[in-house]
A = this chain, B = another copy of it.
């Protein structure tokens, strides 16, 4: 029997996407509301593996772009996916066969369920990040060397814009400008690919993985241990959020968060550097995990991920870190989304290598 995303799956998906979002990727709550609403109205969404699609089937990677508060309303609107589908059909001469999430992390991993339901299309069990990243060129297709030669955007009013950029950076620049002109939010399809082209250029299995992550803590005696095991994560610290500095620069929600250890971690102090997502974890001047590896702050009791905008002084939290998809550890992957791509003068060391070195010391 074919896999489907049901109403109940949406809750698990939202929990898992929040964990994979490393603080960012957009609020999962309104996205889950929209996904449930769309499933109620249009039915459950088939979840297909890449090898289940014909080689020439068009895959439509969709994501929201723009201010989160506005996006929350946008994803409840119904017509953007239809406008994008129509434009894709005009351009390619055939309609898309499946929707794909561009970014499994945060709300952007949940909303595609609503868009796929609205279009009556299956959702591909894959995404382009395996986590969340802030910029449109930080996608697996870019790392795979596929030219970013087409972006289609639709806004809530019905304006549709097609960009054929010279490269991914211009794609980002023009798409942001269109987004701001369109009232600060839009739905976007980029890298429309055939299923054959997707092979090796997308990260497979991530929707299923997000649902599994969400399910791992359900009914668990020790949700934190269950989540840690599911992720294969290192526990960096368990403690209390004692300092939180936020600033918005260059369109990013930047911040520095300090967590002081409690219990067995008493006396320890971990600092997180944030640019939309949690990027670097530092303890005693030593980096303990860094982007593109995943670093997520979770509630110590429930193991629910705390997204960046929900961080508050006094929260009892645990910081987990675990390995990113191998694609991000290639030279092109690190050039695209490694520490230096975010302005940190750090040589990337995989999180598991840091931990091993730490234990050996």
Q: A interface, how many residues as a size bin?
A: 20 to 34
A42 beta carbon closer than 8 Å to chain B: no
A91 beta carbon closer than 8 Å to chain B: yes
A188 to chain B, nearest CB (A): 13
Please give the count of copies of this chain that the complex contains. Answer: 2
Render A79-118 as a binary contact track against B, CB cut-off 8 A, 1 for contact: 0000000010011000000000000000000000000000
Render A155-168 as a binary contact track against B, CB cut-off 8 A, 1 for contact: 00111111111100
Query: Which one of B87, B164, B176 contacts A164 once the chains associate, using CB atoms below 8 Å?
Result: B87
A residues 157-194 near B (Cβ < 8 Å) are 157-166, 170, 173-174, 176-178, 180-182
Across the interface, name the chain B residue whose C-beta is closest to A164: B160
| Chain B residues positioned under 8 Å from A177 (CB to CB) | 177-178, 180-181
| Chain B residues positioned under 8 Å from A178 (CB to CB) | 161, 174, 177-178, 181
| Chain B residues positioned under 8 Å from A170 (CB to CB) | 157, 159
A85 to chain B, nearest CB (A): 13
Query: Which one of B157, B161, B165 contacts A159 once the chains associate, using CB atoms below 8 Å?
Result: B165
Would you give 21 A-B contacts (Cβ < 8 Å), ordered by A? A90-B91, A157-B166, A157-B170, A159-B163, A159-B164, A159-B166, A159-B170, A161-B161, A161-B163, A161-B164, A161-B174, A162-B162, A162-B163, A162-B164, A173-B181, A174-B178, A174-B181, A176-B181, A177-B177, A177-B180, A178-B181
Chain A residues with CB under 8 Å of chain B are 87, 90-91, 157-166, 170, 173-174, 176-178, 180-182
| 4 closest A-B pairs by CB | A177-B181, A162-B162, A160-B164, A177-B177
